Amino acid sequence: MSTNLPNNLDAFWMPFTANRSFKKNPRIISAAKDMHYTSHDGRQIIDGTSGLWCCNAGHAREPIVSAIQNAALTLDYAPPFQFGHPDAFKLATRIVELAPGDLNQVFFTNSGSEAVDTALKIALAYWRAKGEGQRTRFIGRERGYHGVGFGGISVGGIVSNRKTFGPMLNGVDHLPHTYNRSEQAFTKGEPEWGAHLADNLEQIIALHDASTIAAVIIEPMAGSTGVLPPPKGYLERLRSICDKHNILLIFDEVITGFGRLGSAFAANRYNVQPDMITFAKAVNSGTVPMGGVITRAKLYDALMTGPEHMVELFHGYTYSAHPLACAAALATLSLYKSEGLFEKAKGLENTWASAIMTLQNIPQVQDIRVVGLAAGIDLLPKDKPGISGFEAMEHSFNKADILIRITGDTIALSPPLIMDENHIGEIVDKVSQTIRAIY
C-alpha cells in the first residue's frame, strides 16, 4: 500500500521531534498491523518499540478494534464527574486484580504525564488528611522520566526536560541514578552491583527530615533514559527505608506495566509493593489515550471522610475513564490473558537477551542493558552528542525497515509482546545493519 505525502507539513508542531530536519525528509507512517507499520511508500517496517512502549498486544488487533467501534456506537462519551458508566468500574476491577497486595483503587487519567501529577497530588492530599500537611517534599531520581507535566519534570531527572522551563516545583530532591558502566557493562537482567545506592535515600532524609517528605517516586526500570534495570535488592531497600520513615513509595510503571518485564507490573516481578503505581501506554495497547494511578486502600480510605455529598479529592479530567478508552482496555486485558502474553514475554526473555547481546561484537557498541523484553544499546558518540543516535534512527527507518527509539546516542528497543523468535532475529539483524552503516 502506498499513500501520498501530505501537501503541507507546516502547521503541525511535532512533539519531541527535530521539526526542521523531519520536514525536509519526513518519515510518514500510514498503516499498522500486528508486528509491522506500513510507510507511506508501502514498505513494511517492523516495530522494534511497540510504538512508544505502548502497543504491547501489537497493532490493529481485531478484538480491540471491535470494542472501540462498538463503544463509539453505544456510548461515545459520559461525564466522569458525579456520573459513571459500566466499563469504568469493570476496568478498575480488572486492573486491581492484576496489581499486588492491597492496591485496590484506580483513578483514571489520559496519559502517563497526567498519572504522575495525579499521584503526586494524591500523596499531598493523603498527608493533609492525616494531619501531616507539612509533608510536601518529593524525592525523584537522576535520569528518571515522569512525563512532561510540571510535577513530572520536577521529580524527573532528564536534564533537557528541566533546563528549558525554569524553576520547577519547590522542595524536590533526587536520588542518584543506578547506572555504572564500569561495574555493570553488558549485563543481562538486573545487575549485581548497585543495591547500596538506595542508601542515599537515608542521607536525603537526614538532610530534609522525614516529617517533610511526602513521597519517593521512581521507575522500577528507567526506560526513557535508555533502559536501566534495577540492581538486585535495590527496590527492596528503597521500600524498607520508606517504611522506616513512613514515606510513600510510588512506582512509575507507565513503561513497565502490562507485560514488558514478563509480569503485569514490575512490582509483581520484584515482589515489592509500592503505595501507588502509575500506568498508561499498554493498558489498551496504545489505541485510545488512557492512564491512571492504582493506590493502596489506606490512601483512599484516608480521604473518604467529611460530609458524604462533598467531593473528597478535588481533582480529575474531562476524559477520565473515557468510554472508548475503557472498552479498548477491557478488550486488551482480555487479549493479554487469552494469549498468555505476559507469560510469553517471560518465556522469551532469555532468547531476547542472548540475541541482543550478540551486538556487543560491533566495535562501536559501548554497552548493552537488557531486561524483560526491553534493551538499551549505547553507541559510540560522534563529534556532537546525539548524532550517532539520530543517524541510527534515520537509517533504520529509511534503509533497514525497522522502527527504533533513540535517546541521545542510545538505541532503545521494546517490541510488541506478540513477537516470536523469528522476529527477534529480524530485529537484531536490522539493528546490526543500522549500526554498522552509520560508522
- Domain locations in the chain as residue ranges: 19-57+340-438, 65-338
The distance of Cα 253 from the centroid of its chain, to the nearest Å, equals 6
The secondary element (H helix, E strand) that includes residue 295 is: strand 291-296
Q: What is the mean pLDDT of each run of 10 residues along the chain (439 residues)?
A: 79 96 96 97 97 98 98 98 98 98 97 98 98 98 96 93 86 97 97 98 98 98 96 98 98 98 98 98 98 98 96 97 98 98 98 98 98 98 96 98 97 98 98 98
CA distances for 213 relative to 171, 210, 251, 308, 428, angstroms: 9, 5, 16, 30, 44
Cell 526473555 identifies what position?
Answer: 349
> Which residues are within 8 A (CB) of 287 and not within 5 positions of it... i.e. 6 or more apart?
64, 65, 68, 328, 332
Instruction: Answer whether 56's CB lies under 8 Å from 287's CB.
Output: no
CA distance 196 to 422: 39
Which residue type is seen at 344?
A: K
Strand order of the sheet with strand 276-279?
A: 103-109, 291-296, 276-279, 248-252, 213-218, 137-141, 172-175
Cell 513530572 identifies what position?
Answer: 152
Which residue type is seen at 265?
A: F
Fold of the 65-338 domain: Aspartate Aminotransferase; domain 2 (3.40.640)
**Domains 19-57+340-438 and 65-338 fall in the same CATH topology:** no
Angle at 143 between CA 137 and CA 147, to 5 degrees: 70
pLDDT of the residue at 163: 85
pLDDT of the residue at 2: 63
pLDDT of the residue at 6: 85
Instruction: Answer whether 49's CB lies under 8 Å from 403's CB.
Output: yes
DSSP per residue over 377-423, as a string?
A: EEEPP-SSTTHHHHHHHHHHHHTS-EE-EEETTEEEE---TT--HHH
Residues in the chain: 439
Q: What is the CA radius of gyration of the chain?
A: 22
Instruction: Answer whether 221's CB lies under 8 Å from 229's CB.
Output: yes
Please tell me the class of the 19-57+340-438 domain. alpha beta
CA distance 343 to 263: 7
Phi then psi dihedrals of residue 103, to 5 deg: -80, 90
Judged on CB neighbours under 10 Å (0-12, 13-18, 19+), 98 is: buried
Cell 458525579 identifies what position?
Answer: 82
Cell 520536577 identifies what position?
Answer: 154
pLDDT of the residue at 69: 98
CA distances for 104 relative to 98, 275, 300, 417, angstroms: 10, 10, 9, 26
